[in-house]
């Protein structure tokens, strides 16, 4: 009986010691997992810490737990790798090659100035560009608008091989009447896999060819000789009707350059606005006696 009590007591001692060991390890872990100021951290490289708040900032909204775990793991590993390399660089790189204060301050100035410029542009820039202004700029600089690629005005229809009433569609597609255009649109809505019809917009010819299983080595000759194109592959029939075209190297039409010219005019206005405001602010500072310039000798 006494022997049995000794055995039981021995087992209880072992369990107590084991529990104390676990608790002690947890306490040590918690202690090791805190900065000197008592903040918990996720990773450490020497005396630099990655805090939980740093990680929360990089997690997207509504992320799943699985994706969250992957994102966090990658971020931690990346942070540790970058921090280790950075600290090694600071330790090994000569001091004269680590002095970036002037560049950092210049960059800060540029960021603040650029942000203020954007606010001024947002508040004061006139963004209305009239058709007359577009046309005047185009006429003055027409020779600057040379086409890098051939462009076309075209209708394009992609039909499944089993599309109904195909012959009727082809007759409609080859005609140019306004009534037929409405019927073609109705047919395409019901049957086409993709289509582009009834538009007066210019398309880059090579972009159109990417939709059609057709190889064209000489766009000039091909466009001159073909108004209607019909080709097919295993699954679809492709129909193209060329209304107009302009070849590479020719003067680009105004309708094709409208967005480009608008961007040019708005960019000019932006520069003029910023320069005017900069000069006004400078002159105001001089008038107030805030600026002094002395001869440098």
In the DSSP assignment, the letter for residue 252 is P
Check: CB of residue 191 under 8 Å from CB of residue 159. yes
Average pLDDT score over residue span 20-25: 41
Does pLDDT of 147 surpass 50?
yes
Show me where the domains of the chain are located.
Answer: 30-59+69-93, 147-246
**Coil, strand or helix at 240:** strand
Fold of 147-246: Chitinase A; domain 3 (3.10.50)
Helix (H) and strand (E) counts for the chain? 10, 7
In the DSSP assignment, the letter for residue 217 is S
Residue with tokens 């918990």: 40
Please tell me the distance from the alpha carbon of residue 196 to that of residue 189, in angstroms, as a whole number.
11
In the DSSP assignment, the letter for residue 196 is E
Residue 54 CB partners (closer than 8 Å, separation 6+): 42, 79
What pLDDT is attached to residue 137?
Answer: 97
Please write the tens of the pLDDT for every residue from 222-276. 999 999 999 999 899 999 999 999 999 999 999 999 999 999 999 999 999 999 9
Tell me, yes or no, if the pTM score tops 0.75: no
Q: Is the dihedral of CA 49, 51, 54, 59 positive or negative?
A: positive
Confidence of residue 42 (pLDDT cuts 50, 70, 90): confident
265's tokens: 């005019």
């Amino acid at each position: 009986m006494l022997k049995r009590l000794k055995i039981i007591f021995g087992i209880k001692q072992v369990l107590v010691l084991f529990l104390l060991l676990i608790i002690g390890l947890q306490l040590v872990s918690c202690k090791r997992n805190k900065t000197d100021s008592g903040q918990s951290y996720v990773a450490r490289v020497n005396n630099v810490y990655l805090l939980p708040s740093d990680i929360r900032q990089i997690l997207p909204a509504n992320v799943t737990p699985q994706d969250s775990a992957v994102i966090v793991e990658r971020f931690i590993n990346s942070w540790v790798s970058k921090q280790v390399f950075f600290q090694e660089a600071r330790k090994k790189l000569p001091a004269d090659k680590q002095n970036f204060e002037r560049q950092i301050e210049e960059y800060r100035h540029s960021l603040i100035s650029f942000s203020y410029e954007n606010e001024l542009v947002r508040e004061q820039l006139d963004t209305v560009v009239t058709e007359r202004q577009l046309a005047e700029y185009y006429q003055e600089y027409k020779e600057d608008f040379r086409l890098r690629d051939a462009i076309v005005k075209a209708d394009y229809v992609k039909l499944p091989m089993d599309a109904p009433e195909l012959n009727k569609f082809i007759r409609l597609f080859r005609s140019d009447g306004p009534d037929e255009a409405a019927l073609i649109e109705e047919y395409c809505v019901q049957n086409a896999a993709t289509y582009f019809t009834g538009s007066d917009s210019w398309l880059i010819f090579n972009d159109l060819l990417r939709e059609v299983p057709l190889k064209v080595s000489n766009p000039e000759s091909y466009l001159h000789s073909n108004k209607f194109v019909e080709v097919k592959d295993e699954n679809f029939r492709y129909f193209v009707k060329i209304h107009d075209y302009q070849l590479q190297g020719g003067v680009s039409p105004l309708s094709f350059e409208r967005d480009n010219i608008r961007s040019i005019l708005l960019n000019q206005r932006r520069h003029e606005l910023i320069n005017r405001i900069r000069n006004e602010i400078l002159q105001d500072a001089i008038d107030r006696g805030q600026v002094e310039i002395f001869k440098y000798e």
